[in-house]
Amino acid sequence: MGEARSVYIVAAERSGDLLGAGLIRELKAQTGDDITLAGVGGKAMAAEGVDSAVDITGLSILGFFDGLKSFGLLKERVAQTVADIIRTKPDMVVLIDSWGFMLRVAQGVREQDPDIRLVKYVGPQVFATRPGRARTLAGAVDHLMTILSFDAPYYEPHGLPVTFVGNPTLDRMPTGDGPGFRARHGLKPDRDVLLVLLGSRSSEVRRLWPSFEGAVKRLMEDRPDLQPVFLVAEPVEDILVPRLEAVGWFHVGEDEKADAFAAADTALACSGTVVTELATVGVPTVTGYRLGWLTWALIRALRVMKAPFISLVNIAAGRMLVPEFVQTRCTPSRLSGAVAEFLDDPQRRSALGDELMAATRELRGEGDASRRAAETVLTLLQAD
């Protein structure tokens, strides 16, 4: 590739940080470290040698009114990110997920230095809501690397080139040791394990905790032998662990994720990437979600939701493989009832596990998504 090219990678929350880390690792491997990397991100990117130029704490924002409350912070971090990119003057900027933040960064960079190539990694889900974002993104960046095989027709009519690289998150799912996990933590091998995941955003934990706590209590009242295990994401340890310890519930960290997945008979999870991860390894899952009430009211009033489901697994399958309970339907009784149906029917669980794994194969693509993302970045750099 001649002289070393430079790439600036931006991630504003945990999921993007992990995608960024995978991309960094592959860029180094494919260039023999003959590439200059810088960026904004979290611990995962830092572990790959790219320390963040901007503090991303507090940028994991979801919902219109949550965004308004944090607008000052967001605006400040956008300005800092744009300033560092202009100072660094990379050949390319890769903007990962986080629609609102990345759009503002892209617009700021484009305004100050239009020669810097801008690549978006993970597009907004325009198939589900706000299709106008496809045109907006096409006017803000030069290329889209998508993790969804069905994204291209939404963007290409607006002149935005699209490359499907697959979903790196699903590549990261190693085979876990379920029996070892149970033995390590004193969980009985002949009793059901319910894995509970409340998301990686503090707002998700606060809104879902009453419903999830109530659901688990109901299930344990009817099934005293049930073994609930809470898998706690690193960004929400401070807010979630004290709640779990207050009621005496067992929890583990993300370092035991693969083994916990392998040990689970079923799961109760916050809607998001983790639902797709669970489906990839065949864990029957019930999912719930709550937005802020003002945001929810706005979504309902404007009828911006287009997709029939909120889970990618259900969208890919075209039917409800993962029971979904959103907003007013996300209640302890409904969640516990749906989980109980899985617990009471081992044969259904087994059959559903196979269906879930089949539904995620297309989402996963050909595998090695981070490698293909890096190949795309390097190809685009060579084309300059």
Q: In this predicted structure, what is the pLDDT of residue 200?
A: 87
CATH node for 178-364: 3.40.50.2000
Is residue 373 within 8 A of residue 23, CB to CB? The reply is yes
Q: Where are the beta strands (DSSP E) in 41-116?
A: 92-96
Q: In this predicted structure, what is the pLDDT of residue 232?
A: 97
CA-closest candidate to residue 286, choices 265, 307, 315: 265
Q: In this predicted structure, what is the pLDDT of residue 141?
A: 98
In Å, what is the CA distance from 11 to each residue of 106, 311, 373? 13, 23, 15
Q: In this predicted structure, what is the pLDDT of residue 1?
A: 45
CA-closest candidate to residue 76, choices 110, 40, 50: 40
Q: In this predicted structure, what is the pLDDT of residue 186?
A: 96
Question: What are the residue ranges spanned by the domains of the chain?
Answer: 5-166+365-383, 178-364
pLDDT string in tens for the chain (384-residue length): 456 799 999 999 888 999 999 999 999 999 999 999 999 999 999 999 999 999 988 776 554 445 455 677 889 999 999 999 999 999 999 999 999 899 999 999 999 999 999 999 999 888 766 778 999 999 999 999 999 888 899 999 999 999 999 888 777 677 899 999 999 999 999 999 999 999 888 889 999 999 999 999 999 999 999 999 999 998 899 999 999 999 999 999 999 999 999 999 999 999 988 999 999 999 999 999 887 656 655 555 555 556 677 788 898 888 899 999 988 899 999 999 999 999 999 999 999 999 999 888 777 766 789 999 999 999 999 986
What is the rounded average pLDDT for all residues in the chain? 89
Instruction: For residue range 79-109, list pLDDT tens digits in order.
Output: 999 999 999 999 999 999 999 899 999 999 9
- With residue 131 as reference, give the H or E element that holds it: none
Instruction: For 5-166+365-383, give the CATH class.
Output: alpha beta
Q: In this predicted structure, what is the pLDDT of residue 296?
A: 52
What does DSSP assign to residue 119? E
Q: In this predicted structure, what is the pLDDT of residue 316?
A: 81
Q: In this predicted structure, what is the pLDDT of residue 93?
A: 98
What secondary structure does DSSP assign to 291-358, as a single string?
A: --HHHHHHHHHHT-B-SS-SSHHHHHHTS-SS-EEEGGG--HHHHHHHHHHHHT-HHHHHHHHHHHHH
Instruction: For residue range 107-153, list pLDDT tens digits in order.
Output: 999 999 999 999 999 998 887 667 789 999 999 999 999 998 888 99
Is residue 1 within 8 A of residue 34, CB to CB? The reply is yes
| Residue 66 burial by Cβ neighbours in a 10 Å radius (0-12, 13-18, 19+) | middle
